[in-house]
Amino acid sequence: MESVGVKSVITDKYLRPMKDARLSANGRGNPQMYLEKARTGNDMYHVKSSETNKYWQVKSAGDLWITADADVINEDQRSLACTMFHVNCFATSATDPVGKTARLRHGNLQRYACAFKDGDDYYLRAVSDSTDNDSKDVFVCEKF
C-alpha cells in the first residue's frame, strides 16, 4: 500500500473528502490517500482516504460524483459500486518522471475522473470517456 497525495492540475490543490464524502480539490482537510493494488486488472487500484478510512467509489449513476465512503473493496467491474480505478501514469515533459502525473479511470464506468466545478469549488466526477478535457482529468500523485 502506497501513501500518496492526489493533486488536481486545474486547482493545484490536493483532493480531500468533504462532509458529504465527495472529493474536493479545494485545499481543506487531510489529503493523504492510500493506493492498494487490486487483485484483478492491470494497473488497477483501490484508493482509500486516510481521513474517512473509506474507499473511493461512484455514488450513483445519476450524478457520477466520486466519493470516499465505501466501507469495503469491490472488484466487480460490472457494478457501479466498483472501487477500482485504473491509474494511467504518464510523463508530460522530459523532466517529469513517469508515475507522477496520472489520469484515473473508474473500473466499471470506464470514465475518467475530472475536476468538475460546482459552485465555488471543484469536486471529482467520473464524467469523461476521453482524455481531451483541458487537463481537468490530469492529477499529480505525490508520495507522502
pLDDT digits (tens, 9 = 90+) for 63-118: 899 999 999 999 999 999 999 999 888 766 656 555 688 999 999 999 999 999 99
One of 3.40.109.10, 2.80.10.50, 2.170.8.10, 3.40.30.10 is the CATH number of 2-143, namely 2.80.10.50
Distance of CA 1 to the CA centre of its chain: 16
- 13 — pLDDT class (breaks 50, 70, 90): very high
**CB-based contact 125:66 (threshold 8 Å):** yes
Percent residues over pLDDT 70 in the chain: 94
Residue 39 has pLDDT above 90, yes or no: yes
Tell me the domain boundaries of the chain: 2-143
Percent of the chain with pLDDT over 90: 60
* Rounded distance between C-alpha atoms, residue 5 and residue 141, angstroms: 6
φ and ψ at 128, to 5 degrees? -115, 135
Following DSSP, what letter does each residue of 103-122 receive, concatenated?
Answer: EEEETTT--EEEEEEETTEE
CA geometry: angle at 134 spanning 6 and 128, to 5°? Answer: 75
Predicted confidence band at 132 (pLDDT cuts at 50, 70, 90)?
confident
Q: What is the model's pLDDT at position 62?
A: 87
pTM metric for this prediction? 0.90
**Other Cβ atoms within 10 Å of 48 Cβ, number:** 21
Mean pLDDT for 40-51 is: 90
In contact, 73 and 53? CB cutoff 8 Å: no
Amino acid letter, 77: Q
